[in-house]
Amino acid sequence: MKYLISYAILSIILVLSILTGGFTDFPGITGQAVILNPGAVKFELFVMSQCSYGVQAENLMPEVINAFGADLDFRLQFIADNNDEDLRQICAIKYYPANYMDYIMCINKNYRNAGAIWRSCAEEAGMNVNIISTCYQGAEGAELLSKNIERARELSISGSPTIYIDNARYNGPRSAAGFQQVICSVNPDLSGCSVQLSGTAGAVQGGC
């Protein structure tokens, strides 16, 4: 009898999951990052992948991401630069939401030569080169980029880097500590607020 009850419960869960789309929220099925913490502070970084100032801003992010973890809803967005590396990075974000920053940090060491090193960087980051290649060279990559461009146009963004924290434009010091200060002004109880991050010595100046 207990087995019949168990099967009945599982059947109900399965039906409810299908009706509500519950199974589509698991990472790896849709290729989209899933925000597991609805209270996370939203951080949007808009860049051009081969803009030196955008690269500098990207290089600050691993320290911030590591400090805040799931409390930070970090979104890397691309402005209408429309070069191959923008497309490769946006495809990496879709298919490898957990480790795309490893790929980007590798590219940023020699971003002017991205076309020659992207395959080795993808392999180093544990990515399937064929998946990235098919995506960025096809309609899929163009569609993903168009969605980014649409978001940038909504906010009238034209410069790289541009930063929005909690849906407000950030104009403070471009440093890990500067980002931390604003994130913690939104929610001072986050564990990342007690971590000492790099100050203005690593600040980014200028834009493309």
Q: Per-domain residue ranges for the chain? A: 41-202
Yes or no: domain 41-202 corresponds to CATH 3.40.50.880: no
State pLDDT tens for residues 156-202: 998 899 999 999 999 988 899 999 999 999 999 999 999 999 876 54
pLDDT(56) > 70? yes
81 or 78, higher pLDDT = 78
pLDDT(151) > 60? yes
State pLDDT tens for residues 86-95: 999 999 999 9
pLDDT attached to residue 96: 97
Percent of the chain past pLDDT 70, that is, above it, reads: 78
The label of the residue with tokens 């993903």 reads: 144
pTM for this prediction? 0.78
Strands 168-169 and 72-78: unpaired
State pLDDT tens for residues 1-15: 433 333 333 343 333
How many Å separate Cα 7 from the centre of its chain? Answer: 40
Q: Give the integer Cα–Cα distance in Å for 126 and 101.
A: 12
Average pLDDT value for the chain:
82
The label of the residue with tokens 């799931």 reads: 70
pLDDT attached to residue 17: 38
pLDDT attached to residue 4: 34
For residue 183, the surrounding DSSP H or E stretch is helix 176-186
| Whether 61 contacts 90, CB under 8 Å | no
Q: Which two tokens stand for residue 142?
A: 């163009």
State pLDDT tens for residues 128-149: 999 999 999 999 999 999 998 8
